[in-house]
Amino acid sequence: MNTYKTLALILLLVIGFKGYSQEEDLLSLLGEESTINYTTASFKSTRVINLHSTENMAAGELDIRISHRFGFISGGIYELYGLDESTIRLGADYGISDRLMIGAGRSSYEKTYDGFFKYKILRQSSGARNTPLTMAFMSSMAVKTLKPSDPTRENYFSSNLYYTFQLILGRKFSDNFSLEIVPSLVHRNLVATVEEENDVFAIGAGGRIKLSKRVSLNAEYIYVLPNQLAPQYYNSLSIGFDIETGGHVFQLHFSNSTSMIERGFIAETLGHWGKGKDPEGEPFTIHFGFNLSRVFNVK
């Protein structure tokens, strides 16, 4: 009997060990397959410069943003290369979840209030789920509160409303390089001249090259499809640097756009990099500017 008991015990131990090994192999396999590695920090901020980036605020994080665009540097020393003038936007962005972000702001440019939401439809990832890019949808609404130029005529509130819809497609190709393409639609309820379309279609592109642990070179360009804007307007081009310092991100840049909301920098950019369309005009009517971002953990 003792021999049978010993054999039975050995058999049970072998079966148990084999079952345990198979379970460990299975769990290891499942663990490897169930791990999704989401790509992070494609851009240092939720904006490339003016354009929204693929980044969102994390759930419970609040980003207070102060954005400045000084006057045209072509003003020379008399205007201190634009520093005598400034356009400002004060804003706040908040992460509802890791996919959904909302925000609002107020610009001195035509005393405009704006609000938006941005939702990540896809997130670039590897592992169990191999997604080659990040896709986000952004929608904003803005209202101009500047007093009408002609108060004697009937002015409708709806005439001062503007809407923007963007699909943001981006990929982090390496630790040092990220790129995004942004098809955009701007709708203006009222335009100034018959030469302008109410609906403006454009394609933006933004990129980031990491120069060091805390510094990157950013650039963006927005191409507006032909025959939609008045002749005095140009495509927006901006170039600058992101500098990360702890909880702050400083974005220092040059741009030919004055406004910091989509309706302005997509459809109403007056500056240009060069002589522009008027041979007698001033060259390089561009702005120096900055965005300052400070993140707070609300919950």
56 three-state secondary structure: coil
Burial 176-188 (b: 16+ CB within 10 A, else e): eebbbebebbbbb
d(CA 296, CA 213): 22
Averaged pLDDT, 87-103: 95
pTM to 2 decimals? Answer: 0.83
Q: Is the pLDDT of residue 243 over 50?
A: yes
Is the pLDDT assigned to residue 154 strictly greater than 60? yes
Is the CATH code 3.20.20.120 the one for domain 39-297? no
CA-CA distance, 118 to 219, in Å (whole number)?
Answer: 21
pLDDT for 189: 92
The confidence score (pLDDT) of residue 10 equals 44
For residue 156, give every residue at least 6 positions away whose Cβ sits within 8 Å of its Cβ, in sequence order, or none.
Answer: none
Q: For residue 289, is it left (φ>0), alpha (ψ between -120 and 50) or beta? A: beta
Q: Please state the rounded mean pLDDT for residues 256-284.
A: 87
User: What's the pLDDT score for residue 33?
Assistant: 55
Residue-level pLDDT at 148: 79
Read off the pLDDT of each residue in 264-292 and give the average, rounded to a whole number.
87
Q: Please tell me the distance from the alpha carbon of residue 181 to that of residue 132, in angstroms, as a whole number.
A: 14
Side chain identity, residue 299: K
Amino acid found at 155: N
- Half-sphere exposure at residue 233, Cβ-oriented, CA atoms within 13 angstroms: 26
CA 52/CA 16 separation, integer angstroms: 56
pLDDT score at 137: 97
List beta partners, residue 210. 216
C-alpha separations of 227 from 105, 143, 199, 245, 267 in Å: 30, 25, 11, 43, 12
pLDDT average, residue stretch 42-64: 94
DSSP-assigned beta bridge partners for residue 64: 92, 294
Q: Which of 189, 279, 274 is nearest to 235 (CA)?
A: 274
Tokens of 279: 């041979």
In angstroms, what CA-CA distances link 263 with 13, 80, 128, 189?
73, 28, 40, 11
Whether the pLDDT of residue 151 is over 50: the answer is: yes
